[in-house]
Structure 1
């Protein structure tokens, strides 16, 4: 960005919303529980018969039926005890259960194959950049309505977004809070104040005035806070229990610890929404479910399980059991490569780039992958920009062999003039096995690694705090939207060292900082792509981290479920075009 303070504020938001992803799968599981969208079908693989059409299967999809039936009750089984549908509080992505109930200015088009793209939703397009990208204009589609038949206006979008600034409605995504002019001291609409940087000259038009040019604004406008909320409503703390629907379903029951029931919203117009569908008559979320029991029920084909989906990851034991049978193996879907798992090297303690490059060559990624469960855990990583992000260009600056290059590592250590190196690797209890694989890798080249296991909260405080009292750490990063900036900025901009931020390699390169600030304001995509690809390689030349694998996730569905798949981004399933065969 042009303004360093604006960039810093933006990273503060990213740091808060990504923290759980980077730590472990807990936030990932929460996100899965609310993942629900999207559309279009293409296929290759083994053929199966469904209805009157010969359908095909992909490893990341159930049967894909291009002529699905309407009817039936879809059951979604979730380990969560509570789900909040208030868009101001939501950290669900635009392909979540939220999108069954409400829409935003833009959304994501996700397919079983192909890149995820941002597309128009309530707006007529993904936005018009004005003033070099510092102002964005949207025009709403005509005839869009709430569940009660009242019209959705631009003023409802403004009000919904303003609600997200209220101190009583915290917890949701807040990228817009760092980007909108005058937002720093704004405290929401409930005291009668309005945010002047959001302008609505009429009921169809809305302008957003930003602190600086920001090319990724169309992605930001797809997030939950941009859902419309009727004026003078939604200030109650329990609005999320039954929000006013703009999507294909409305909530008729929401009981904590038990279930949520959704039925069709008759005022949703499919002709104005090419992304969602409403094939099931009803969707019931069963809450507080044990994932192992739920997966076992589907594998055994118990009564009611054929129309069900498990929102959580399939536990390893049930995954192995399902794979052992051809019939039950067809109930599993596995994502492509997703979040980046990596070994961070504290650049303030491991200052010599030759030593960092030696570690790069010494690490046996195959051993790490095996410790995670094998190829099903994810493919080998070489780039910082993750699969499914359009700016990504595949390259590998280091060993082509995932087992590493021991001789090259030893050569670099010799050139560094250092010997008998000793480093500490901090790890959470659940990382013990993979930490041991890193320890064994580095021992091959004469580097002695001691593993220090600490509680998860202590781990987080250590790697994101100011002291940086560690040499090596294992981490994971999933961006909240498919953007190179969301991949790279929070992890490698020098402003993100310490202070609770996620530049845990403590990497600082003024050239990289400058490139990031230039890239975020480039509206032309082809130019921006080149910037980000340059940044990716520039960072990897300094070897601040070792990319290990891109995580894969496995899910299970009942035998009567169709059109349930995982796209290239994110590595979570889509629900909004799910249908039932019978």
Structure 2
């Protein structure tokens, strides 16, 4: 998940707004991952979601939602996520009876559907509806959603969708309850892939025009009753939703109203005032630092604040193809030259607000993650060690004029200035190049690679180290819109990624990913900085509003209301 990870999570892919700037958290005396107040919830009532965005994609083919947020309220998939504050997220059966059965070579996956499932319009959910929904996502007119399956399915790279390309042969439906996927290569994380939006059922013949984005046929607890662009989306109960078969959704509220185009600062004020419907509402945007300070000083308000234990990995990417940065020892010097405490303060005003210091590439809350630190140093760095490594690499006088493009979105400029000052202590002199966010993205994901270092932030699209490692360090992710910002390409690592991806047993795969984490950091293509924390506010009558170990967002599917 790229630096727009927040927008993806809540189902929005428009340009970065002010909401995305607020990567903050409560202080260490509060309880990350949980709210300060226990609210007894029951069925009924209307839940309000307040967002500053003016639109959301409800077409599963177009959605980049995480499984536990908006899209999960209206669409079920073959599998779903179970989140917990006490451990990593796990994959569970949703429309399927299990999380999939793999062939011996890991290339064929078979799922059996549960009995008696229906869409909101009464259409029985069979393997045909799942297959058609997936095939739709390949059509250019309905693109934009998470697309891992498009290259993993055999023949997917050249498939153009059901309207032009007919059936995709690598998805077989031998009977109404069975669906079989033939992959181009072994892939142990396929059970996570089928939890993504594109695997929601769509009745054949539906979704042939753009209106499906606001009027989809739903399979989750709710269906779309009204969608007024820029104003609101109203969800009401899906009478055909089978609660007994759904392990991921409580479906407690009678209805859900998403209020669009709300000003972020006003949202926080409304939630703290708690009048009228705002008592049963929550904000989908991070709480900004100034308002967070107000919340912390108000004991009553603190009960409405929920904070993640950690979150996206923030890092400094070093272009391994550029000049002195091609030398691993030079890159290792950066590990000691950075001041992570200064970065924390620049991010959110203090270390406890920003999030814990990072030393690994795999984020907290991901199964198989191992904790280690290849470059132990004080939080503010070890300048002498950095200078020593630079001298050993042949640069006793340091480095000059390193190009440091930085986005003007968020507060990245402040963070970059803090790093610039820290690097200069070790004789590493950089030249900041402020760019608007689109221009910055074009530079760091383009094919030229015309920069030396840059800031990045990443939270995986699904709860596997696979989604940490390959997007940032696989050779295939260099340029062409990929987020391998360090331009890191090592055949041994690519082979290790392929081996880990092809390992079906999660425990065995986890060991391989942890090995990849260490191996990559030996080359120091990036400097892990912090795991950013996120804070959210909810109304006083909102309960079961919790953030698990992963991802760093509340689980919309479990929220209920007090009577």
- How high is the TM-score relative to the length of structure 1? 0.89
* Aligned 8 A contact 1:32 1:312 in 2: no
Deviation at 1:24, TM superposition (A): 7.4
What does the per-residue CA deviation read over 1:77-126, in whole Å, with 9 as the maximum and x for residues that have no partner?
11121222111111112112111111000010012322101110000000
- 1:455 has 2:436 as partner: yes
Aligned to 1:249: 222
Q: How does 1:146-157 map to 2 (within 5 A)?
A: 146-157=119-130
Quick one: distance in 1 between partners of 2:481 and 2:95?
A: 36
What does the per-residue CA deviation read over 1:2-57, in whole Å, with 9 as the maximum and x for residues that have no partner?
xxxxxxxxxxxxxxxx4xx3367554565599xxxxxxxxxxxxxxxxxxxxxxx9
Larger displacement relative to structure 2 (555-564 or 76-85): 76-85
Larger displacement relative to structure 2 (356-365 or 182-191): 182-191
Aligned to 2:510: 529
1:118 aligned counterpart, secondary structure: strand
- 1:353 has 2:343 as partner: no
- 1:378 has 2:351 as partner: no
Aligned to 2:536: 555
Quick one: distance in 2 between partners of 1:391 and 1:469?
A: 35
Quick one: distance in 2 between partners of 1:432 and 1:136?
A: 46
Pick aligned residue for 1:467 from 441, 448, 451: 448
Quick one: distance in 2 between partners of 1:128 and 1:233?
A: 30
Quick one: distance in 2 between partners of 1:274 and 1:29?
A: 21
2:241 aligned counterpart, secondary structure: coil
Aligned to 1:42: none
Deviation at 1:58, TM superposition (A): 4.4
What does the per-residue CA deviation read over 1:258-284, in whole Å, with 9 as the maximum and x for residues that have no partner?
111111122211111121112112211
Deviation at 1:364, TM superposition (A): 0.8
Aligned to 1:174: 147
After superposition, the Cα gap between the structure-2 partners of 1:303 and 1:32, relative to the gap in structure 1 and judged at 3 Å, is farther
Deviation at 1:61, TM superposition (A): 2.5
- 1:421 has 2:421 as partner: no
Aligned to 2:21: none
- 1:128 has 2:101 as partner: yes
Deviation at 1:343, TM superposition (A): 0.6
Quick one: distance in 1 between partners of 2:345 and 2:353?
A: 9
* Aligned 8 A contact 2:45 2:255 in 1: yes
After superposition, the Cα gap between the structure-2 partners of 1:237 and 1:207, relative to the gap in structure 1 and judged at 3 Å, is same
Deviation at 1:295, TM superposition (A): 0.7
Pick aligned residue for 1:433 from 394, 398, 414: 414
What does the per-residue CA deviation read over 1:198-254, in whole Å, with 9 as the maximum and x for residues that have no partner?
111110001001111111110100001100111222223211212222111111111
Aligned to 2:23: none
What does the per-residue CA deviation read over 1:100-158, in whole Å, with 9 as the maximum and x for residues that have no partner?
11100001001232210111000000000014111000000111112244421111101
Quick one: distance in 2 between partners of 1:179 and 1:210?
A: 6
- 1:363 has 2:338 as partner: yes
2:105 aligned counterpart, secondary structure: helix
Aligned to 1:44: none
* Aligned 8 A contact 1:30 1:80 in 2: no
Aligned to 1:194: 167
- 1:238 has 2:211 as partner: yes
Deviation at 1:160, TM superposition (A): 0.8
Pick aligned residue for 2:369 from 389, 392, 396: 392
What does the per-residue CA deviation read over 1:177-208, in whole Å, with 9 as the maximum and x for residues that have no partner?
10111223322223581111111111000100
Quick one: distance in 2 between partners of 1:341 and 1:484?
A: 16
What does the per-residue CA deviation read over 1:481-511, in whole Å, with 9 as the maximum and x for residues that have no partner?
1111211112112232223322111222221
Quick one: distance in 2 between partners of 1:388 and 1:225?
A: 25
Aligned to 1:273: 246
1:427 aligned counterpart, secondary structure: strand
Aligned to 2:300: 327
1:379 aligned counterpart, secondary structure: coil
After superposition, the Cα gap between the structure-2 partners of 1:66 and 1:150, relative to the gap in structure 1 and judged at 3 Å, is farther
Quick one: distance in 2 between partners of 1:427 and 1:455?
A: 8
After superposition, the Cα gap between the structure-2 partners of 1:167 and 1:445, relative to the gap in structure 1 and judged at 3 Å, is closer
Q: How does 1:192-231 map to 2 (within 5 A)?
A: 193-231=166-204
Quick one: distance in 1 between partners of 2:242 and 2:31?
A: 30
Aligned to 2:19: none
Aligned to 1:3: none
2:88 aligned counterpart, secondary structure: coil
Moved over 3 A (4+): 23-33, 62-67
What does the per-residue CA deviation read over 1:298-348, in whole Å, with 9 as the maximum and x for residues that have no partner?
222333221111111112222222222001121111112111110111112
Pick aligned residue for 2:468 from 487, 495, 517: 487
Aligned to 1:80: 53
Aligned to 1:4: none
Task: For structure 2, list consecutive stretches of 5 or more residues without a partner in the other structure.
Answer: 15-29
Deviation at 1:560, TM superposition (A): 0.9
* Aligned 8 A contact 1:62 1:561 in 2: no
Deviation at 1:464, TM superposition (A): 1.9
* Aligned 8 A contact 1:307 1:561 in 2: yes
* Aligned 8 A contact 2:342 2:418 in 1: yes
Aligned to 2:269: 296
2:244 aligned counterpart, secondary structure: helix
Aligned to 2:24: none
* Aligned 8 A contact 2:10 2:69 in 1: no
Larger displacement relative to structure 2 (480-489 or 296-305): 296-305
Deviation at 1:397, TM superposition (A): 0.5
After superposition, the Cα gap between the structure-2 partners of 1:119 and 1:25, relative to the gap in structure 1 and judged at 3 Å, is closer
Deviation at 1:414, TM superposition (A): 2.3
Q: How does 1:95-110 map to 2 (within 5 A)?
A: 95-110=68-83
After superposition, the Cα gap between the structure-2 partners of 1:30 and 1:523, relative to the gap in structure 1 and judged at 3 Å, is closer
Quick one: distance in 2 between partners of 1:152 and 1:105?
A: 11
Quick one: distance in 1 between partners of 2:499 and 2:546?
A: 36
- 1:408 has 2:389 as partner: no
- How high is the TM-score relative to the length of structure 2? 0.92
* Aligned 8 A contact 2:39 2:542 in 1: no
